[in-house]
Amino acid sequence: MLAPTLRTVAKPREEKARPRTPYHAKFSGPFTFTEETLRDPARLALAAKVACVADERAGALFPTAFAAVLRARTRGGATLEHRVGSSRGGPGAL
């Protein structure tokens, strides 16, 4: 089952990695954008490497908070992680 918090920003993956419009990009976990960068090959290549997966601790906070975790694997094999308890636009920001 897909976590409720991922439905908006993660699926379908192919569309989220290559948003067609600025509006679609606003709801894309893998893609941060300006209109000029929507078709930038380097950014599209980076977005294609992003996978949105459920995090049990972040999911447990929903719907009270829209939490997130970013995990990045470096070329050297190290894993970096950053957690956000609630997004600026989420219910916890009020």
Question: Mind listing the pLDDT tens digit for each residue in 16-42?
Answer: 778 888 788 777 776 666 777 778 899
User: Which is nearest to 48 in space by CA: 24, 81, 13?
Assistant: 13
Task: Tell whether 71 is covered by a domain.
Answer: yes
CB 62 within 8 A of CB 4: yes
pTM, two decimal places: 0.53
Residue 80 shares a structural domain with residue 46: no
Give the pLDDT band of residue 79 (cuts 50, 70, 90).
Answer: very high
Do 22 and 66 fall within a single domain?
A: no
Residue-range definition of the domain harbouring residue 68: 55-87
Per-residue pLDDT at 52 exceeds 70: yes
**Averaged pLDDT, 32-56:** 82
Q: Chain-centre distance of CA 93, in angstroms?
A: 18
Residue 10 sits in the same domain as residue 48? yes
Q: Is the N-terminal amide bond of 22 cis, ω within 30° of 0?
A: no
Mean per-residue pLDDT over the chain, rounded: 80
Rounded distance, CA 71 to CA 37, Å? 23
Number of domains in the chain: 2
Structure tokens at 47: 């977005």
